[in-house]
């Protein structure tokens, strides 16, 4: 199939590429050469930037697949490292492969001891996302032996190091912000239990991981592990397309994720629920969200791709109830506000017509707060989980023989050529 495009008096045939599922794409790579025109698509709403075999989203149906497997099945049956293996290698591991993968990740959990001193340079009140962005970038200075991206072995070692060390760095960012000593990883624990211990253990007391909380957090990590070509993933791919070292590329992804329209939304959603405070104030906020002259938006609602219930939000809502139940939190006013807000928004014409449904961030904040994480850590947890997705996408790009440096074009609307005027004549 091809697409016949007529621009002014020129007609060209552009090839149409078919995916396994989902919409086909018109390959416009030769459009400029043949017509002298670019396409214009700010926000990339109609533009595929790459081919990928990793994640598929059907936003209208509310479907999310990792390597073909529905997120609901993975969240129920897998652990996070099994999901990491699937995203990185394309297949679920056998029992032996899983044991070997867990072992390899576990061996890399410690960070270089000098990283401790790197942390001391931050102000105590620095946002943990600022600290995480910098410390992930700093890994490139500590692990020179895994930054040659043309070497597949080094690529894999860098990938393992990032998946293994990001929980350690995330926990250190938290510990530093509250003035407690860093807790070294404990390799006898599973990935998520180890992370919980690094966050919440103190040297003067025994710390026992609650297995229900650990499983819930592990599931939250699975839900956040990848989401195809979102803003932070596209940032990682673009940074990586120049051949930049992998740690720096992931740091770019962390920086992009921090924005409130992306990963920062979980923090913003919880703050919003706290600000609303009680069920009787909801109508006032719904009114503000609908007012074109008010910049306020319902945080945790709406998505660029999902025009249906975000499948992750459904699992997240169930997890929220499980965690609150396990921790004996019976009457959480924030949960009451969230459930009522969801009920009202889902029946309100404005939200129905614009297909604005709760997204994953709507319930994740309440759950993470109940687990003991402060709001400033929410996006850090998202970054921890998304690291594997960024790496899988980065590797896929580097290993794609058709890969070239990413270089969008522009529609120039500035001044035409003009001559310099001396300062005394301006």
Query: Which residue carries 């993975």 as its tokens?
Result: 74
List the interface residues with ligand CMC, window 198-227 (CB under 6 A). Answer: 227
Number of Cβ atoms within 10 Å of the Cβ of 21:
10
User: One of 102, 218, 310, 361 is an active-site residue; which one?
Assistant: 361
Does the annotation count 303 as an active-site position? yes
Q: How many residues does the chain have?
A: 426
Q: Least distance in Å: CB of 309 to ligand CMC?
A: 12
Does the annotation count 41 as an active-site position? no
Bridge pairing between strands 2-7 and 10-17: antiparallel
**Sequence-distant (≥ 6) Cβ neighbours of residue 391 within 8 angstroms:** 88, 159, 162, 163, 246, 250
Select 170 or 183, whichever has its Cβ closest to ligand CMC: 170
Select 98 or 307, whichever has its Cβ closest to ligand CMC: 307
3-state secondary structure 48-101: CCCCCCCEEEECCCCEEEECCEEHHHHHHHCCHHHHHHHHHHCCCCCHHHHHHH
* Residue choice 7, 110, 261, 352 for contact with ligand CMC (CB under 6 A): 261
Q: Least distance in Å: CB of 154 to ligand CMC?
A: 30
From the list 152-160, 255-263, 329-337, 399-407, the region that binds ligand CMC by CB under 6 A is 255-263
From the list 131-139, 170-178, 256-264, 334-342, the region that binds ligand CMC by CB under 6 A is 256-264
Bridge partners (DSSP) of residue 17 are: 25
User: One of 127, 227, 262, 303 is an active-site residue; which one?
Assistant: 303
DSSP string, 111-124: --TTHHHHHHTS-T
Select 119 or 390, whichever has its Cβ closest to ligand CMC: 390
What is the rounded CA–CA span in Å between residue 322 and residue 373? 17
Select 172 or 298, whichever has its Cβ closest to ligand CMC: 298
* Residue choice 109, 235, 359, 367 for contact with ligand CMC (CB under 6 A): 359
According to the binding rule CB under 6 A, does residue 338 interact with ligand CMC? no
Cβ pair 362, 312 in contact under 8 A: no
**Binding string to ligand CMC for residues 287 to 306, with x set by CB under 6 A, is what?**
--x-------xxxxxxxx--
Residues serving a catalytic function are 303, 361
Chain contacts with ligand CMC (rule: CB under 6 A): 227, 230, 261-263, 265, 289, 297-304, 354, 356, 359-361
């Amino acid at each position: 199939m091809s697409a016949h495009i007529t621009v002014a008096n020129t007609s060209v045939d552009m090839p149409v590429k078919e995916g396994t599922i989902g919409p086909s794409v018109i390959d416009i790579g030769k459009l400029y050469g043949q017509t002298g025109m670019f396409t214009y698509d700010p926000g990339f709403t109609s533009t595929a930037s790459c081919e990928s075999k990793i994640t598929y989203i059907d936003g209208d149906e509310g479907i999310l697949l990792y390597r073909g497997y529905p997120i609901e099945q993975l969240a129920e049956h897998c652990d996070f490292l099994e999901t990491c293996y699937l995203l990185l290698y394309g297949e679920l591991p056998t029992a032996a492969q899983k044991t070997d993968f867990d072992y390899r990740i576990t061996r890399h959990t410690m960070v270089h001891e000098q990283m401790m001193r790197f942390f001391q340079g931050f102000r105590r009140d620095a946002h943990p996302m600022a600290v995480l962005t910098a410390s992930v970038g700093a890994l490139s200075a500590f692990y020179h032996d895994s930054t040659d991206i043309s070497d597949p072995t080094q690529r894999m070692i860098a990938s393992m190091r990032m998946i293994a060390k990001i929980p350690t760095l995330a926990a250190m960012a938290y510990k530093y912000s509250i003035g407690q000593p860093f807790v070294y990883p404990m390799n006898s624990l599973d990935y998520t239990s180890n992370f919980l211990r690094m966050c919440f253990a103190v040297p003067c007391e025994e710390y026992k991981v609650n297995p229900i909380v650990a499983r819930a957090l592990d599931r939250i990590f699975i839900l956040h592990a990848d989401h195809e070509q979102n803003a932070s993933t596209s940032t990682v791919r673009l940074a990586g397309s120049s051949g930049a070292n992998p740690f720096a590329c992931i740091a770019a992804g962390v920086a992009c994720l921090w924005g409130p329209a992306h990963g920062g939304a979980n923090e913003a959603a919880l703050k919003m629920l706290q600000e609303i405070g009680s069920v009787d104030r909801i109508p006032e906020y719904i009114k503000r969200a609908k007012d074109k002259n008010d910049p306020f938006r319902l945080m945790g609602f709406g998505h660029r791709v999902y025009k249906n219930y975000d499948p992750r939000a459904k699992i997240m809502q169930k997890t929220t109830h499980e965690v609150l139940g396990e921790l004996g939190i019976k009457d959480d006013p924030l949960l009451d506000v969230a459930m009522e807000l969801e009920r009202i928004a889902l029946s309100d014409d404005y939200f129905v017509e614009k297909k604005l449904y709760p997204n994953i961030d709507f319930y994740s904040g309440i759950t993470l707060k109940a687990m003991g994480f402060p709001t400033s850590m929410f996006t850090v947890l998202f970054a921890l989980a998304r690291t594997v997705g960024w790496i899988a996408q980065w590797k896929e790009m580097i290993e794609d023989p058709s890969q070239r440096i990413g270089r969008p074009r522009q529609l120039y609307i500035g001044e035409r050529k003009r001559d310099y005027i001396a300062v005394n004549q301006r």
